[in-house]
Structure 1
Amino acid sequence: MGSGCADGSRRGLPRRAFVGVLGLGLAACAAPPSGGGSATETSAPAAPSLPPIPAAVPGRSVTVFSGPPDGSRIALTVDDGTCADCVAGYVDFAQRSGIHLTLSPNGTYAHEWEPHATTLAPLVAAGQVQVMNHTFSHPKLTTLPDAGVRAELARNEDWVQRVFGITTRPYYRPPYGVHDERVDGIAAAEGWTRSVLWNGSYSDSTTITPEFLMSQAEKYLTPGRIVLGHANHPTVLGLFDRIADLIRQRGLSPVTLDEMFGTSRATGTA
């Protein structure tokens, strides 16, 4: 069994509450026992801190589906989260590999995501993992009235702020990639000024074979891609190391959307 300090970091606290607990836990774990320890011992480095949640900044809507084709950057994005093991697998992949990811979770799958909030907290704070808005319940936004579009985005934003302590603005991904000028205008007026699509995919929104998923990875893991994956089906669970190897072999640099386009969670804008 682990120590009390290690156990305390795994209790699934809401993200914003966890920040304070993390700081106290690090201090308690780092302190030498009374009367012991040498003057040369140092405490653990402070955990990265999150910026304050910024106010929404309305603007003009821009559809984003690719990054700069030159260089080596590639953005790996992960949608939904219907499969608890898949969510856990992606979280473990990010933690052990150091690969940068942009997650697009739906709050309706909170049961699958929230147990990993404490593990993701330092990765989010360090900028290795970004979270963008994918709506709360994954509807086709074009079928909703204006108020329904706003509610889906706002409810998911509230959930992300509570669990991960960060804003999703200015990025949102319309479910199924279905959007129009009206939907984008509503989103942009609330600060989601970048509608994110993709130009590469593992094609794993449904159950596929490992061989097919890897064929898609080999096709689309190239510079300038925004690659779409899903945390919905277990096929990907046995392929993380192969995907990482392919990325290394091709000299690619996985980045978040913030890193690809020069945006910031501190401001929620470009």
Structure 2
Amino acid sequence: MTEAGSAAIVVGMGGIHDPVDRRTFFGLLAIGLASVVAGCANPAGNQPPQTPAAAPPHNWDTPVPPAPEGGPTRVLSHGPPGTDKIALTVDDGYNDMVVTGYVDFAVRTGIHLTFGPNGTYAHAWAPHADQLRPLVERRQVQIINHTFSHLDLRRMTDAQIRAELERNEDWVTRTFRTSTKPYYRPPFGFHNEHIDGVANEIGYRNTVLWNGTYGDSEPITPAYLMTQARKYLRPGTIMLGHANHPAILGLFDQITELIRQRNLTPATLNELLATP
């Protein structure tokens, strides 16, 4: 997905369900992260998402209450005040090597992530199903619904919106043995009350946006990505990244060192937002 609405995967570390604590996590980062290298083009025949719109505005002072079992739609773009947690979310995934890099990063370090994969890019995700299922089971990794085809929901009928979400949910359930509910991220961040209402009717009461981004929905340089990381990685951030372009692959250690220096705790969306 693009910056205007990609969901992502959230990275989180050190939750109560994770046996890897903060000290152990950052110790593991020193072992071999440089082995993940960049350099993969978009696979032939797979079209990248459209150009993103600007990131939606956010209000750092608005509290985010715990999600009820049911209820009205919530539009979420940041964590609650006073938290030291951040959510690293990763969307799309049409680049096989970048998906592999993120999965390897999670497996080797124990860092918490939130992924928002599109089923249309199953070629990149399916090979890692056996690696990701145990991480999902122990709540180190969360998967949310970013739709199957990554198309603008504003141009769809209600039936088409439901089909996009339900088809992706079915794919995630079969592949990773988990549900994406109750979170969905609209492609490009394009949504309105009507779209959110349709999503809520089938179990997606939380519309997930973001208040920080690497700016990597399109090709960028590693230097620019780190500039964005330094700008946005602060308490309560829902950080938007994409598994589409290789700039991130050589930067996992630098990003996690930045997180360590700022005393932040990576968390899944569930952990950041205190959702049961």
TM-score for the superposition, normalised by structure 2: 0.74
Question: For structure 2, which runs of at least 5 residues remain unmatched after alignment?
Answer: 1-68
For residues 227-258 of structure 1, what are the alpha-carbon distances to aligned partners after superposition, in whole Å with 9 as ceiling and x for unaligned? 00000001111111111111111111000011
Residue 220 of structure 2 is matched in structure 1 by 208
- Residue 263 (str. 1) matches residue 275 (str. 2): yes
Residue 126 of structure 1 is matched in structure 2 by 138
Does the 8 A contact of 1:80 with 1:105 survive in 2? yes
For residues 86-125 of structure 1, what are the alpha-carbon distances to aligned partners after superposition, in whole Å with 9 as ceiling and x for unaligned? 0000001111121111000000000000000101111100
**2:122 & 2:253 partners in 1: Cα distance?**
27
Does the 8 A contact of 1:58 with 1:192 survive in 2? no
SS in 2 for 1:149: helix
1:74 is displaced (CA, Å) by 0.3
Residue 47 of structure 1 is matched in structure 2 by none
Residue 165 of structure 1 is matched in structure 2 by 177
SS in 2 for 1:109: helix
**1:59 & 1:110 partners in 2: Cα distance?**
32
**1:66 & 1:257 partners in 2: Cα distance?**
10
Residue 150 of structure 1 is matched in structure 2 by 162
- Residue 241 (str. 1) matches residue 256 (str. 2): no
1:58 is displaced (CA, Å) by 5.7
Residue 266 of structure 2 is matched in structure 1 by 254
Match of 1:97 among 103, 106, 109: 109
Among all aligned residue pairs of Structure 1 and Structure 2, give the percentage whose two residues are the same amino acid: 59
Residue 19 of structure 2 is matched in structure 1 by none
Based on CA coordinates, which of the two structures has the bigger radius of gyration? 1
Superposition map of 1:106-117 within 5 A: 106-117=118-129
TM-score for the superposition, normalised by structure 1: 0.76
**1:69 & 1:59 partners in 2: Cα distance?**
22
**2:101 & 2:81 partners in 1: Cα distance?**
29
1:70 is displaced (CA, Å) by 1.4
The structure carrying a bigger helix percent of its residues is: 1
**2:148 & 2:270 partners in 1: Cα distance?**
22
- Residue 185 (str. 1) matches residue 165 (str. 2): no
Q: How many residue pairs were aligned?
A: 208
CA RMSD of aligned residues (A): 1.0
Q: Which has the higher contact order (CA 8 A, sep 6+)?
A: 2
Question: For structure 1, which runs of at least 5 residues remain unmatched after alignment?
Answer: 1-56, 265-270
Deviant stretches of 4+, over 2 Å? none
Residue 227 of structure 1 is matched in structure 2 by 239
SS in 2 for 1:232: coil
Residue 141 of structure 1 is matched in structure 2 by 153
**1:153 & 1:128 partners in 2: Cα distance?**
23
- Residue 199 (str. 1) matches residue 211 (str. 2): yes
Match of 1:174 among 168, 176, 186: 186
Superposition map of 1:29-68 within 5 A: 59-68=71-80
Letter in 1 for 2:224: F
